[in-house]
Structure formats: C-alpha cells, structure tokens
Amino acid sequence: MEFYCLSFQQPYAGFVLNAVKTRDSLATLVSSQGKSTITTHIAHRDWEEALWRELLLEKLGWNPRQIQALLLEGRSMGEKGLPDIGATLQCPENMAPEEVVELEKQAVLTNLKQTYLTALSNPRWLLERIPRRGGKAVFQVASHST
C-alpha cells in the first residue's frame, strides 16, 4: 500500500498527531490527488522560528508546561503517524478578524491570506517506525518499506 507522506519540521509533526494543528497548506497538494490518509515524516531540521510557541501561548491560551508536555510526548512516540485529510479551502484576502484568528489557531501559522488549507483529522500514532529517507514537502512511501 502506498501513502503520500508530508514532511514536517518539528514541532509541527507532533502538532498534527496531537490534533493541535488541524489544517495545513502542504496537505493541499495531496488532497488534489484524492487520497484520504497520509503519513507524517520529520524533516531533517527543526522549525527555527519561535512563531509556533507564540501562537500556542497567545492565541490558543496554552501555558509553557502544556507545550513542554506536548513536545515530550511527540518525541517519545517518534512523531510518526497517519492523519486523514479532508476538504481544502482558500483563505480569502478580506477575512473578518475572528475568522483569521480561528484559521491561524487551526493551522498554527500566521499570514494566511489566499493560502490554501486542507483539513487534517483523525490522527493515529504509528507503533513502529517506517524506515525511509525523507523527501521534499510531499512524497510517496510504501507501507512495506524497509
């Protein structure tokens, strides 16, 4: 069986698999192919900006302890899993401020005007690692890879 795989920088893979991040712009590339389940991959480099931390603290109302627990859980699980993808929407340029805030929360990103976002849901952690070199952004992986 072949899956499309999204390569996420950390901590975004953990956000997807913990249902914190429920919309993503890269998933749009896969949703156009008609696939409904994808797998996650950890990119070689972590996300260096602190924007995600600021979004969690200020827009989602998290505290530092909750963020640390989320990061530790993701690392212990290996950040590999299978989320489903759903409908895609394009963020209009003239969104109401409350719509902007809600989409930023769902995507754990800012500056979303005219960005295509695809829904992510039903994340399941993989119990075993799928050994595979990563690809750029979106690539395919077979479930029987070694």
Which among 103, 137, 115 has a CA at the least distance from the CA of 23? 103
pLDDT digits (tens, 9 = 90+) for 104-121: 889 988 888 888 998 999
Task: Report the alpha-carbon distance of residue 26 to residue 131 in Å, rounded.
Answer: 22
Q: How far apart are CA 100 and CA 92, in angstroms?
A: 10
Query: Residue 51: its pLDDT value, please?
Result: 77
Nearest-angstrom CA–CA distance, 13 and 6: 9
* Reported pTM: 0.77
* Lowest mean pLDDT across 12-16, 44-48, 55-59: 44-48
What tens digit of pLDDT does each residue of 71-100 get? Answer: 777 666 656 788 998 888 889 888 898 998
- Top-confidence residue, 131 or 138: 138
CB-count exposure of residue 141 (10 Å: 0-12, 13-18, 19+): buried
Q: What's the pLDDT tens digit per position in 29-52?
A: 666 666 688 888 776 566 666 778
Section 124-129 average pLDDT: 76
Taking the CA of residue 61 as centre, how many other CA atoms within 13 Å lie in the half-sphere pointing to its CB? 2
Task: Give the lowest-confidence range in 2-6, 23-27, 37-41.
Answer: 2-6
